[in-house]
Amino acid sequence: MKEIIEKILKEALLKAKNSENWPDFEIPASASDGPASATDGPEIVVDYAKSEQFGDYSSNIAMTLAKKVGKSPMEIAGQIVKLLDCYIDKKNTCHSERSEESLVNMDSNINSGILTSHSGAPQDDSQRCFEKIEVAQPGYINFYLSNKYLQNVVGKILAEKELFGNLSKNKEKVIVEYSQPNTHKEFHIGHLRNVFIGNSLVNILRKGGYGVTSANYIGDTGTHIAKCLWGISKFHSEENLDQINNKAEFLGKSYAEAVKAISENPDFENEFKLLQKKFESGDEVLVSLWEKTKQWSLDEFEKIYEELGVNFDVYFWESVEELEGKALLPELLKVDCIQESQGAIVANLEEYGLGVLVLVRKDGSALYGLKDIPLAIKKFKEYDIDKSIVVVDIRQGLYFKQIFKILQLMGFDKDMQHVGYEFVSLKGSESMSSRKGNIIPARFLMDEIIKKVEDKFPGTKAAKEIGLGALKFYMLKYSSQSKIEFDINEAVKLEGSGPYVQYAHARTCSILGKAKENFNFQLLNSNLDLLIHEKEFSLIKELDKFPELIAEVANTHEVHKFPHYAMKLADKFHSFYDACRVIDEGNIELTKARLMLVLSTRIVLGETLRLIGVSAPEKM
């Protein structure tokens, strides 16, 4: 709708320029014309009205043009509005004809939401979708959607079902890399934020028409592994490793133990270095310990992913990229900025204000950057993508700028983006770090929150869905530049967040189930014109915003807008529910129309939750 309004405003401006003897000026581009062009001129911007008294959409175009046109904003707005008359739905015209368009067939299986549109999407009169278009001080143009348009939204959702909000395909192909856990370290709540954001982004981009490959990049090599192995052989050599209960936790503890010991005692440091050499030269005992423990980590990751409902199309391995990076080294050294310095190989990016990045240590071992370069190239070559997105903590912002710059200097100038987000810290404590061992393991938190749900609502069968839903919601509602000071009591709270939305969804299911029991809705039509209650319109308006939200977030990657939207939508539904009795045996026609609205709410609510990975149980 925003796009439509932008378009008709643009048309109106063109007309006005010609007919109202405005001075010559450049017609501004509309925001939907794509990313802001080089011309810095004013854009045609349409936004949701701030409050219902200002209609549904509004534009400030008249105010931005006031100077250029040399007239007052109010005057300009008035002239524009005059030209928009053809978009106003004149009531009492062809009413009976149009009401048929909103008739929808309801399938016998109401719960599966199988509905088909009777007469196809109404197109002819659809441009008359405003009840009125008004000018308001100091120069706003306010658009009020017509009842007919809004009622048709319900029909549209029922016709498209879960596909409602899908954007057209044929867009870019993109790889989204996220999670990137290190083996031999514990998967903690900081990692969860990454998984939630990455998974949501994948879902949303897919819904937005992109061809998305989800990728994970496992840190299965590096100093941290040797440290963990040293820790095990130093402090736990007597234990029977196979009998350890929580193997992932054991590895994490051994790692933190080792880091601490090595930093405090130079003898240990030497011991560790000896072990590291032994390990790297292929010592059988150590290598087999490594393989065994690596598998422990991977098993744990898989369990967590499964529980969280995320999966990856492809896995990349740091150990593999390391080899490829080393093979690439001669090529890299041809690039101007890459040179030897103090015995190490570095990329000197000072002239771009990006400092220096060490690629290879002076002992010849590879650092992260040397691995990320071949990985980036591989993604484009082997997966035929147009864009590469990596979801990583914002602290690596400079690092990724450096990597992207190096690639560009190599002549590899592609669309690569780092989606950053602030880190998670513990309330009243320093930032979480596996090295320091001051972490909350993801596993612990997930179990804890599920327990909490079971305590609070004994007998619920959806404790897991509700608990994990609350957790995902809690982490996703923060914008990416907001730090999360993790407070387990806050995360575990069930009020006013994930469960609130899930509850709204469960209510829709409950009503639809009841309706199915008590009525026979087979092959019944319903007349959506009957939806005229203020709360109904309010709910429909919210439903109508869903496709625009998809488009927006697919562009901006601001995933946190989904939890906020979900809250708002659930709020509108609860409010409608309270004010409007749905099942009324004395008024079958209205009941049917409202059931349509409930069903369309269920569809959109379900889709919204699905996109952020929150399950939508039918009963709670």
Q: Tell me the DSSP string of 545-558.
A: THHHHHHHHHHH--
Two tokens at 595? 């059931």
Binder among 175, 567, 569, 616 for RNA (CB under 7 A): 567
Shortest distance, CB of residue 159 to RNA, whole angstroms?
A: 24
List binders of RNA among 402-461 (CB under 7 A): 422-423, 430-431, 453, 457, 460
Choose, by CB under 7 A, the member of 219, 252, 325, 606 that binds RNA.
219
What per-residue string of b and e applies to 273-300 under the rule 16 or more CB within 10 Å gives b? eebbeebeeeeeebeebbeebbebbbeb
Task: Measure the CA–CA gap between 515 and 524, rounded to whole angstroms.
Answer: 13
Q: Which stretch binds RNA (CB under 7 A): 12-20, 219-227, 442-450, 521-529?
A: 219-227
Instruction: Report how far residue 403's alpha carbon sits from residue 406's, in angstroms, rounded to the nearest whole number.
Output: 5
| Residue 270 contacts RNA per CB under 7 A | no
Q: Of the listed pieces 215-223, 271-279, 289-297, 601-609, which binds RNA according to CB under 7 A? A: 215-223
Out of 30, 102, 182, 194, the residue judged to bind RNA by CB under 7 A: 182
Among 157, 275, 466, 475, binds RNA (CB under 7 A): 466
How many whole angstroms separate alpha carbon 505 and alpha carbon 597? 13
What part of residues 513-542 is at the interface with RNA (CB under 7 A)? 514
Q: Is residue 367 close enough to count as binding RNA by CB under 7 A?
A: yes
Q: Which burial class, exposed, middle or buried, applies to 235 when counting CB atoms under 10 A from its CB (0-12, 13-18, 19+)?
A: middle
Sheet containing 525-526: give its strands across.
115-117, 104-106, 525-526
Instruction: Kindly state the smallest distance separating residue 239's Cβ from RNA, in Å.
Output: 26
Instruction: Specify the stretch interacting with RNA by CB under 7 A; choose among 150-158, 290-298, 493-501, 520-528.
Output: 493-501
Residue 75 token pair: 């005057």
- Contacts with RNA in 308-327 (CB under 7 A)? 318
Kindly identify the residues of this chain, within the stretch 15-74, that bind RNA according to CB under 7 A.
43, 45, 47, 49-51, 53-55, 58, 60, 63-64, 66-67, 73
Q: Which helix (H) or strand (E) holds 605?
A: helix 588-611
| Short-list 173, 89, 589, CA closest to 385 | 173
**Within 80-109, which residues bind RNA (CB under 7 A)?**
none
Give the number of other CB atoms < 10 A from CB of residue 461. Answer: 11
Would you call 595 exposed, middle or buried from its count of C-beta atoms within 10 A (0-12, 13-18, 19+)? buried
Q: What is the CA radius of gyration of the chain?
A: 29
Q: Which two tokens stand for residue 421?
A: 């987000």
Residue from the set 92, 240, 342, 520 that interacts with RNA by CB under 7 A? 342
Quick one: 155 or 617, whose CB is closer to RNA?
Answer: 617
Beta-carbon count within 10 A of 112 CB? 9
Give least dist CB 101 to RNA, A. 26
Half-sphere exposure (CA, 13 Å, Cβ side) for 409? 20
Count of residues of this chain found to bind RNA when the rule CB under 7 A is applied: 100
Asked if 500 is part of the footprint of RNA (rule: CB under 7 A), the reply reads yes
CA distance 375 to 314: 12
Stretch that binds RNA, among 16-24, 324-332, 336-344, 406-414 (CB under 7 A): 336-344
Interaction with RNA in 109-138: which residues (CB under 7 A)?
136-138
Q: Amino acid identity of 198?
A: G
Q: By C-beta, is 222 or 547 nearer to RNA? A: 222
Least CB distance from residue 391 to RNA, whole Å? 13
Q: Shortest distance, CB of residue 518 to RNA, whole angstroms?
A: 9
Smallest distance, RNA to C-beta of residue 315, A: 15
Kindly tell me which residue out of 83, 146, 577, 609 binds RNA, with binding defined by CB under 7 A: 577
Rounded least distance, CB 98 to RNA, Å: 28
- Distance CA(122)–CA(101), nearest Å, equals 6
Question: Which listed range, 169-177, 292-300, 444-452, 495-503, lies at the site for RNA (CB under 7 A)?
Answer: 495-503
Closest by CA position to 296, among listed 444, 185, 433: 185
Taking the least distance from each CB to RNA, the nearer of 175 and 501 is 501
Closer residue to RNA in complex, CB, 212/360: 360
If one asks whether residue 356 binds RNA (CB under 7 A), the answer comes out as: yes
**Residue list 134-163, contact with RNA (CB under 7 A):** 136-138, 140, 142
Nearer to RNA, 169 or 581 (CB): 581
Interaction of residue 481 with RNA, rule CB under 7 A: yes
Please list every residue from 384 through 413 that binds RNA, using CB under 7 A: 394-399
CB of 426 to RNA, least distance (A): 12
- Count of other CB atoms within 10 angstroms of residue 128: 18
Strands 173-177, 140-145: pairing kind: unpaired
User: CB neighbours (10 Å) of residue 480?
Assistant: 16
Contact between 224 and RNA by CB under 7 A: the answer reads yes
Taking the complex as a whole, the smallest distance from the CB of residue 53 to RNA amounts, in Å, to 6
- Tell me the pairing of strands 211-218 and 57-59: unpaired
Of positions 19, 265, 341, 429, contacts RNA by CB under 7 A: 341
Q: Are 535 and 576 in contact (CB under 8 A)?
A: yes
Cα 522 → chain centroid:
38
272: contact with RNA by CB under 7 A: no
Contact pick of 40, 238, 578, 585 for RNA (by CB under 7 A): 578
Contact by Cβ (8 Å): 472, 613: yes
Q: Is 292 in the site for RNA (CB under 7 A)?
A: no
Shortest separation between residue 119's beta carbon and RNA, angstroms: 28
SS3 570: helix
Cβ closest to RNA, residue 377 vs residue 398: 398
Phi, psi of 175 (to 5 degrees): -105, 130
Strands 130-136 and 140-145 turn out to be antiparallel
Sign of the Cα torsion 402, 405, 410, 412 reads positive
Question: Does 260 engage in binding with RNA (CB under 7 A)?
Answer: no
Q: How far is the CB of 584 from RNA (least distance, A)?
A: 7
Binding residue (CB under 7 A) for RNA from 39, 116, 223, 429: 223
Nearest to 292 by CA among 362, 206, 232: 232
